[in-house]
A and B are shown apart, each in its own frame.
Chain A
Amino acid sequence: MQKLFDGIFSKKNKIYTKNLLPGKRVYGEKLVKIDGVEYREWDAFRSKYCAALKSGLTQSIFFSGATVLYLGSAEGTTVSHVSDIVGEEGNVFCVDISEIAMKKLAALAEERQNLFPIISDAQLTKNYKEYFEKKADAMFQDISQRNQADIFVRNAALLKKGGLGAIAIKTKSISQAKEKLDVLSGEIKTLEKEFEITQVVNLEPFEKHHYLVLVKKK
């Protein structure tokens, strides 16, 4: 096992995180045990952050003990790995608008002591900003909406200065017709209101029409 970033490991071209709850699977992923430590395999086809890691992300936004704001947590596929990375001392606030997706996530949050589920529209930060007495260390967003970048910028107030963020941008949700790079540069312009852009990663072949933009709060 080779350490890639804090809490993220790789072996033979596969990516793993240390299982916070040994013996338990979250979405049918493989579990492997090496030197008495159990790892969960991270599926790049199901998680955009993992796809970005495989596509050459230069910096990881999550670290052990971090407080993370995760927008668009869905059923918790990626969230479970983030939960592994931040560990018991960390906090992951998971915002999603859909009660149905939240059903699975709530069950996950019962088990994993570092997950904080919030059912809310991520555009309405007033619904959850009270929970951030201490600002988040990292912010991640994966929401396929037309105004994705705008939503991210609205949440910027909850991220500490200098904190890292990553946003998965689906160019097809913004415009079907426009050239994807045009769409991307439009979104980046929006992000630049609050962030410095650190890296842009194309997620092909794992996800079509998707980019991950790595940013730093100004």
Chain B
Amino acid sequence: MDARVELRKKLLKKTKEQMNEKFAGKEIHIIKAVRLLSDLDSINNLMSENASEWKLREPRGEAADAFTELNENTERIASEKKKLMEFIEKEMDAEFPNFSIIATPVLGAKLLASAGSKKRLCFMPASTIQVLGAEKALFAHLRKKANSPKHGHLFNHPLMQKLPRFKRGKVARIIAGKLSIALKQDYFNGENTSKNVLAELEKEIAKIAAEPVTPKQEQREKVLIEQHTEGAKKETSEKSRTWTPEERRAYFAEKNKTSGSGDGPRQTPFKRNEGNTWQKPHHESRHFGGGGFAPRGERSERPAFGRNENKSKSFGKGRFNKPKHSFMKF
């Protein structure tokens, strides 16, 4: 009887500790803010797109009223975004003085959101930080179906811009290494050395950028671009043409052989949008989480890494795939 009471006490205490760890930190508000920010970003883009199209058609009367309101709302969202950004900058500087300098505040906050909590982020190996935000690609890779991703959120790092594709992987690795050190300093209240680190990093990357391109690398760059645009175009156009029944059967026989489960092709990370440009579907890591039930806020707080790793292996398949053959015309 006593043992039972004791066990219950112990479990209650442990549960509380686990919950505190999850909720206590200020980081939860940073995470919420940065998620909101990226949602507002897409909303804002859609609205401005609408506004500029509408403007061309010279709205009058009631249409003009609606148009004005649209513009006002767009502005309001822009100012909310600005406030959010300021909030994120302030909080990130307070919670992660070193990390925030090297990563830049908003990008740092995105990494934090992907990791799920301060503690988890701070104890992550550099190699994991490097691919945070590219979970989909990573798990595709783990299932041995794709190349390993070289960068997730880090792709948007200011130091990565302007670099040719084949150099980005290397640079992402270097930045991730520095970030990992900065995180440990922040977690253990170490010194603030990041300004120097950043300066060094800039020099190092400038050096890499200046390295001459070998013909082999040039070839790789071409292949990479091909993979990202032409390849996807070709694959999709192949699927959207009209198939004869024989072709269709042959196609499925082949697919079933290669993918085993017959779950359809996976390597179509690009979808067509109206302007005939090629765009990544926006669903990636936002709704990352099992196929299961969880209150909405909850689901998005699930860590992309760590505890859920096991589960993750199984869910990439169905959840992110397009309905099996929706774009085929038979």
Binding site for B on A (CB under 8 A): 91, 97-103, 106, 109-110, 113, 115-119, 121, 123-124, 131, 143-147, 170, 173, 175-177
A118 touches B11 (CB 8 A): yes
- Given the interface pairs A106-B15, A106-B16, the reply to whether A121 lies near B308 with Cβ below 8 Å is yes
- Given the interface pairs A101-B295, A145-B290, the reply to whether A123 lies near B7 with Cβ below 8 Å is no
Q: How far is the CB of A91 from chain B (nearest CB, A)?
A: 7
Give the secondary structure class of A's interface. Answer: mixed
A123 touches B19 (CB 8 A): no
Q: How far is the CB of B67 from chain A (nearest CB, A)?
A: 41
Interface stretch (choices B56-64, B99-107, B309-317):
B309-317
Contact of A117 among B12, B22, B23, B292 (CB under 8 A): B12
CB neighbours of B22 from chain A (8 A): 99
Contact of A116 among B8, B292, B294 (CB under 8 A): B8
CB neighbours of A98 from chain B (8 A): 294-295, 298
Count of inter-chain pairs, beta carbons less than 8 A:
77
Contact of B324 among A101, A121, A177 (CB under 8 A): A177
B4: Cβ under 8 A from any A Cβ: yes
- Given the interface pairs A99-B23, A103-B19, the reply to whether A176 lies near B8 with Cβ below 8 Å is no
Q: List 30 A-B contacts (CB under 8 A).
A: A91-B4, A98-B294, A98-B295, A99-B18, A102-B18, A102-B19, A106-B12, A109-B12, A113-B8, A116-B7, A116-B11, A118-B11, A118-B15, A119-B14, A119-B15, A121-B310, A123-B310, A124-B310, A144-B290, A144-B292, A145-B291, A145-B311, A146-B290, A146-B292, A146-B318, A147-B311, A147-B314, A170-B293, A173-B292, A177-B323
CB neighbours of B19 from chain A (8 A): 99, 102-103, 106, 119
If A103-B19, A144-B293 are given as contacts, then 14 extra A-B residue pairs at C-beta distance below 8 Å, sorted by A number, are A99-B18, A101-B294, A109-B15, A115-B8, A117-B11, A119-B14, A121-B308, A121-B310, A123-B311, A124-B310, A131-B11, A144-B292, A146-B318, A147-B314
B55: Cβ under 8 A from any A Cβ: no
CB neighbours of A143 from chain B (8 A): 292
Task: Determine the distance from Cα of A97 to Cα of B307 in the docked complex, in whole angstroms.
Answer: 10
A144 touches B291 (CB 8 A): yes
Q: How far is the CB of A136 from chain B (nearest CB, A)?
A: 14
B307 touches A121 (CB 8 A): yes
